[in-house]
Amino acid sequence: MKNNMRPADMKRINTPALAEAFINEQVEAVRAQVGDKKVLLALSGGVDSSVVAALLIKAIGRQLVCVHVNHGLMRKGESEQVLEVFRDQMDANLVYVDATDRFLDLLAGVDEPERKRKIIGGEFIKVFEEEARKLEGIDYLAQGTIYPDILESDGVKAHHNVGGLPDDFNFQLVEPVRLLFKDEVRCVGHALGLPASMVERQPFPGPGLGVRCLGAITRDRLAALRESDAILREEFAAAELAEQVWQFFTVVPDFRSTGVRDGKRAFDWPVIIRAVNTVDAMTATVPEIEWVVLKKITGRILAEVPGVCRVLYDLTPKPVGTIEWE
């Protein structure tokens, strides 16, 4: 029986030295737990799974098999970064599955938000299961469960919207960060040498850009969403807002409005900028972004993103508006 309660005397991991000590302890624990057996991990590139991957690579090297499923709803450059950091720099045993067409074909014409989420979550499990079945001799499944998942949702990662793998897999779980809070996971991630852009990453929903490309997802609007989001992130970083604002992204609705471009009438999509500050995501406020920054972002999106003729800033706090639009 694994201990899932944080001991009362457990120190908060908030210095490189404490992170080192935690890493050494876990490396030993994982080696003792899995011996020479193989461990499977779904590596999304989010903070928790990335830290678990780096920790297990340190402990058992290529006995860890990472599967990165690109569902086609990742932000610009995200899957590439996973490959670069884990496969190229850390020599991870990494299976990369580009399932973009599978997901987008299934989602075509589906405009109901919860159905979109279900399709994305369900298909993710299916793709992961298919890859797991191709692999031989795997006894363990690693997961990036963290302490709030245990406290808040019975050990299931919050918002996963997915079931689990079928029972016949019979994997034993490896959850090395299950007693850590998010800031501690980040501290450990830094100590493991992961790039700051990965460790300090803002929350990103499991269904990814799928819940920000409103209504039925189309490839052209998805491209506009990905490009405008990348511009927003670049400009927030340049204005030193990236560390100050809790979550920020763009949204592309499924309607058009009239514009004029090069003297001709255009009929294109709006891009909505959403930025929020919050402690627990239950309530959120909207930061006052300087006009000059918003104007620069607007100018760049209009000049660089095809199919967009309008940019808006969402002023709605939560409640009443949720952080995501769907």
* Residues of this chain that bind ligand XMP (CB under 6 A): 117, 159, 161, 203, 205-207, 247, 281, 318, 322-324
Give the residue with the Cβ less far from ligand XMP, 6 or 159: 159
Residue 310's CB: how many other CB atoms inside 10 A?
17
End-to-end CA distance of the chain: 39
- Whole-angstrom CA distances from 29 to 21, 132, 238 are 12, 24, 41
Q: How far is the CB of 238 from ligand XMP (least distance, A)?
A: 23
> How far apart are alpha carbons 86 and 117 in whole angstroms?
28
Listed in order, strand segments (DSSP E) in 19-126 are: 38-42, 64-70, 93-98
DSSP lists the bridge partners of residue 174 as 142
E-assigned strands of the chain? Answer: 38-42, 64-70, 93-98, 138-142, 172-174, 247-251, 257-261, 264-276, 308-313
The residue among 27 and 230 lying less far from ligand XMP, judged by its C-beta, is 230
Neighbours of 276 (CB within 10 A): 23
CB of 267 to ligand XMP, least distance (A): 29
Least distance from ligand XMP to the Cβ atom of residue 50, Å: 15
Distances (CA, A) of 39 to 128, 129, 215, 225: 14, 14, 38, 35
Q: How many residues in total does the chain contain?
A: 326
**Under a CB-based contact definition with an 8 Å cutoff, are residues 286 and 314 in contact?**
yes
20 or 324: CB nearest ligand XMP? 324
Q: How far is the CB of 140 from ligand XMP (least distance, A)?
A: 24
CB of 314 to ligand XMP, least distance (A): 12
How big is the CA angle at 121 (ends 236 and 42), to the nearest 5 degrees? Answer: 75
| Choice between 19 and 199, CB closer to ligand XMP | 199
Rounded-to-integer distance, Cα 129 and Cα 138, Å? 12
Nearer to ligand XMP, 23 or 45 (CB): 45
Cβ proximity of 99 and 69 under 8 Å: yes
**Cβ nearer to ligand XMP, comparing 27 with 202:** 202
The distance of closest approach from Cβ of residue 278 to ligand XMP in the complex, given in angstroms and rounded to an integer, is 8
CB of 284 to ligand XMP, least distance (A): 7
Give the chain's largest Cα–Cα span.
70
CB of 19 to ligand XMP, least distance (A): 25
Nearer to ligand XMP, 93 or 145 (CB): 145
- Rounded to 5°, angle at Cα 266 from 214 and 254: 10
In the bound state with ligand XMP, the residue whose beta carbon lies nearer, of 81 and 277, is 277
